Amino acid sequence: MQKKAAAQRKPTLKDLAEQAGVSVGTASNVMAERDGPSAETVAHVFEVARKIGYVANAAARSLRSRRSRLVACLVPDITNRFYGVIVRAAEHVLREAGYTLLLVDTHNDTERECELLLDVTRVGVDGVLFAPGSESSGKLQQRIAQVDVPLVILDRDIAPDRPSVKVDHFSGALKTANYLLDLGHRRIALLFPSSHLRPARERWQAFETAAAARGIGDALELVRIDTSSMDVAFSQCLALFQQAAPPTAIFGLGTTLLAGALKAARQTGRDIPGDLSVVCVGDTELAQVHTPELTTLTWNLQVLGRHAARLLLAEMEPGIDPQGSPDATGHLMLTCELILRESCAAVHTGAGKKPARGRAKRLAS
């Protein structure tokens, strides 16, 4: 019974030192991440710890090193698949570096964001990944400035002195605008939530810029549908499609919003792409399984998450290469690509010659 109990007991620091062939002091220094042991010794001790199942006391290690190995990630809506992909990619990078990611839903509430930024820093996180729901709140900007740990902003124009990873929505939307304008579309509905935020704002500006460059600014009719509800998107698109001169194209976020628009198109008997051209933002499941498959403006969400995590690691542990070539101020810009599928056609010419199924054409921005 004594042998069985001994075999089941947790390995101690002394056991680790004996198995690794180092002193207890060296083993302690390695597990507490103190300076001193060589890189080879550190790697060897950690490998032995993994093999024998030794786990350092996290609370004690945190007190000794003054680091919690915790990172908070604040997003406005955890049900949004875009954030799910980003967070998972970031978590993988952070976990490999020995950090645990704590995911927090701010409910797209600025007051809650301000409170949570204070709460997570009080808890003692080593860093923060933050996707704000607002870019204009002076209170939020002030609270971000007060955060005394490394913080990386996700795809928002706020706190320019903080590192960030952004998507070049303007260039991507400009390519989309030129594509639709080349097809003869002049009445276009833009379907995005939070029109005051950078992504939607840049897409709108891109369409206006494309029209102005062609000298057709006065002829372009843009309709903005600003909602996060599928039901609202459905009702507003239904009203648009029943007008005497309805939109001939829709450019919208490929989540439940575009689903609402497609439902309205189906209910009013509109053929895609014969009566209505559709460009989806984000290569979602909807874009790929819809018939016809939807032309899509997309960017790599996993790359965004990985780059954000690496930027944060570089802030938390100086000397780590953030990768991705951020500029001198720590900002990184990702490009979009336009994937041409089967959902767009020239105005008044019916479906036209559609790309063959499975042979989507990609246009990088």
CATH of the domain at 233: 3.40.50.2300
* pLDDT tops 50 at residue 351: no
Q: What is the pLDDT of residue 255?
A: 82
Same domain, 221 and 312: no
Contacts of 346 (CB under 8 A, 6+ apart): 183, 184, 352
* Same domain assignment for residues 154 and 265: no
At residue 5, the pLDDT reads 44
Same domain, residue pair 358 and 222: yes
One domain, residues 79 and 44: no
Last residue of a domain, one of 65, 94, 118: 65
pLDDT of residue 7: 46
> Between these two residues, 302 and 65, which has the higher pLDDT value?
302
134 and 194 in a single domain? The answer is no
Q: What is the pLDDT of residue 63?
A: 47
Are 320 and 357 within one domain? no
Give me the pLDDT at residue 1, please: 44
| Domain residue limits at 318 | 70-162+302-334
Any idea which residue has 């007991």 for tokens? 9
Q: Span 220-239, mean pLDDT? A: 93
User: Is a pLDDT exceeding 50 seen at residue 363?
Assistant: yes
Residue 172, pLDDT > 50, answer: yes
pLDDT at residue 302, as a whole number:
97
Per-residue confidence (pLDDT) for residue 352, from 0 to 100: 35
User: What are the beta bridge partners of residue 297?
Assistant: 281, 338
Residues 141 and 129 in one domain: yes
- From 12, 41, 65, the end of a domain falls on 65
Percent of the chain at pLDDT exceeding 70: 88
Structural domains of the chain, count:
3
Q: Which residues of 273-282 are buried (b: 16+ CB within 10 A; e: fewer)?
A: bebbbbbbbb
- Indicate if 118 and 257 belong to the same structural domain: no
Listing DSSP states for 281-308 in one string gives: ES--HHHHHSSSPPEEEE--HHHHHHHH
pLDDT at 56 exceeding the cut of 80: no
The predicted-structure confidence for 278-331, as pLDDT tens digits, reads as follows 999 999 999 999 999 999 999 999 999 999 999 999 999 877 777 665 665 688
Tell whether 45 and 134 lie within a shared domain.
Answer: no
At a CB cut-off of 8 Å and minimum separation 6, what does 86 contact? 75, 131, 154, 301, 302, 304, 305, 308
Phi/psi of residue 236, nearest 5 degrees: -70, -40
Domain boundary among 44, 65, 86: 65
Mean pLDDT of the 149-166 span: 95
163 and 330 in contact (C-beta within 8 Å)? yes
Least confident of 158-172, 178-192, 306-320: 306-320
Statement to judge: residues 240 and 194 lie in one domain: yes
Number of H helices, E strands in the chain: 14, 13
Across all residues in the chain, what is the average pLDDT? 88
Tell me which amino acid residue 54 is: Y
